[in-house]
Amino acid sequence: MNYQILKINISDRIAVVTVSRPAALNALNSDFFKEMNHFLDDLEPRDDVKVLVITGEGKSFVAGADIAEMVNMNSVEGSAFSVNGQHTFDRLENLPIPVIAAINGYALGGGCELAMACDFRIASKLAKFGQPEMNLGLIPGYAGTLRLSKLTGIGNALYLILSADTISADDALRIGLVQKVTEPESLIEETMKIAARIAANSSQSVPVAKMVIRKGVNIDLTESSEFVASEFGKLFDQPATKEGMKAFLEKRKPNWK
Ligand code: DAK
């Protein structure tokens, strides 16, 4: 595919996708969703990519769904736009490999929802977060209502969505919306260091850990404990698990191959 909006760079087992439509502050339009789904179709069968990083070009991560595209939609088109977006964000959340959002600037509306569909978020000090849909007579349409409540608690979700206030990266860190704040110029470097550490871990246990955490929050403790025990047990049949423990006992670095 000839990508017009996404810039894709894959090296050293890490894929970096940059949303690049700076004239519209990287607002999400139908072409973005087509390109992201095409990229995910290509990525899913690959076993040489261990971490995906998503960032934005210019002063914005993503300033929301494309208002110019949404303005003339009727309810059927609006609903389809929402379902398409939800499906794409669910694919990111359900990818076996970890997905990190490197948030360089505005993460508003659908942009904040995109960041929340990632597994965790690293933000530049200059980043701004918010769900300003109320200003447009809308509500968050890409499952942001649920993800924001789960990540930050229902009080913070109600505050941010009902007030449409924009908050700083430091405030986003304080409420658990982001996990780390960096100087603007070191955002990508810091993110890549974390991505590289993850990529260097066992590619058998990383996806299992992600899956167990992701599924575990949606089931009760008893069911979750049984599920974790079963997935934990399965790892013992994996050569990488034996190698990791042997390497510790032999006081050397594991060789995951
Ligand atoms: N869509 C389209 N264009 C956008 C945009 C957006 N979300 N955000 C910015 N732009 C465009 C501006 O129109 C402007 O274009 P030109 O006038 O130059 O042609 C260009 O980007 C630069 O923007 P500004 O001139 O406004 O730049 P500033 O630095 O002055 O301001 C800003 C930056 C981020 C504070 C401001 O641009 C802004 O407030 N943008 C809108 C942010 C926003 O409201 N985002 C939420 C969008 S609503 C649903 C499905 C999905 C959704 C909801 C429901 N269902 C169907 C149920 C999702 C909704 C949203 O995400």
Q: Which domain holds residue 236?
A: 205-249
Per DSSP, the residues of 27-91 read -B-HHHHHHHHHHHHHHTT-SS--EEEEEESTTEEE--B-HHHHTT--HHHHHHHHHHHHHHHHH
- Please tell me whether residues 68 and 164 are part of one structural domain: yes
Strand order across the beta sheet in which 120-124 lies: 6-11, 14-19, 51-56, 99-103, 120-124, 180-182
Do 235 and 138 fall into the same domain? no
How far lies 7's CA from each of 36, 89, 240, in Å?
10, 18, 33
Residues 27, 128, single domain; the answer is yes
Q: Is 133 a catalytic site residue?
A: yes
Q: Nearest residue CA, atom 42 of ligand 1?
A: 63
Q: Do 90 and 191 sit in the same domain of this protein? A: yes
SS3 201: coil
- Based on the fold, state whether residues 25 and 124 are members of the same structural domain: yes
Residue whose CA lies nearest to ligand 1 atom number 55 = 141
pTM: 0.94
Residue 81 carries which side chain, given as an amino acid letter?
F
Whether 178 maps to a domain, the answer reads yes
Residue of 57, 77, 113, 190 marked active site: 113
- In CATH, what number is assigned to the domain containing residue 230? 1.10.12
Instruction: Work out the mean pLDDT of the chain and round it to a whole number.
Output: 95
pLDDT digits (tens, 9 = 90+) for 159-195: 999 999 999 999 999 999 999 999 999 999 999 999 9
Give yes or no: residues 127 and 209 share one domain: no
Co-location of 170 and 225 in the same domain: no
Low-confidence spans in the chain with pLDDT less than 70: none
Claim to verify: residue 44 and residue 112 sit in the same structural domain: yes
Q: What is the total count of domains within the chain? A: 2
Whole-number pLDDT of residue 174: 98
Given this model, what pLDDT does residue 228 score? Answer: 85
Q: Domain check: are 70 and 166 in the same one?
A: yes
Interatomic CA distance for residues 15 and 179, integer angstroms = 20
Strand order in the sheet with 106-108: 60-62, 106-108, 128-130, 166-168
Question: Ligand 1: residues within 6 Å at CB?
Answer: 24-25, 27, 63-68, 78, 81-82, 85, 106, 108-110, 132-133, 135-136, 138, 140-142
- 226 a catalytic residue: no
Helices 205-216 and 221-235, interaxial angle, to 10°?
170
